[in-house]
Amino acid sequence: MSDCIFCEIVAGRAPAHRVLEDENTMAFLDIAPATAGHTLVVPRGHARNLWEISEDSHAHVARMVHRVGALLRAALAPDGMSVTHATGEAAGQEVFHFHAHVVPRWKGDELRVMWNPRRASHQELEKVVERIAAVR
């Protein structure tokens, strides 16, 4: 897709600071990093989001996320690592080519967590399980 910046990067028509790649995926540094080493992992084939990516392609991305996490740990010695993905504008997706963020974390890095956890009641959880079971 010529209007997709990640497809352009994969094709070599747009610049990127490549971290690692294989025949199915590519990992490159985010141009607006949350922390040093913030890396994006994308499938080579275009898939808009989690709902469009095939299971096989998603598995390739997951394996590359694992490899990139190990590389970043060895190179940067972070205290931790965050791995995130957003599907849809409501979730914060800005580039509509499936991608995972691999973000090295350090104590005191001032990045916030994505939500404030609140324990759900048994009834709330049961209602969700019932809705999921209805569409399986």
Query: With contact defined as beta carbons under 8 Å apart, do 17 and 29 qualify?
Result: yes
Listed in sequence order, the residues at least 6 apart from 99 whose beta carbon sits closer than 8 Å to its beta carbon are 6, 40, 41, 42, 85
Coil, helix or strand for 51? coil
Q: What are the strands, taking DSSP E only, across the chain?
A: 18-21, 25-29, 39-43, 80-84, 100-105
CA dist list (Å): 28 to 54, 107, 122, 132: 21, 24, 42, 36
Active site residue 99: yes
Q: How many CB atoms lie within 10 A of CB 77?
A: 9
User: Which position among 97, 99, 101, 122 bears the catalytic label?
Assistant: 99
Q: How many CB atoms lie within 10 A of CB 72?
A: 22
Residues designated catalytic: 99
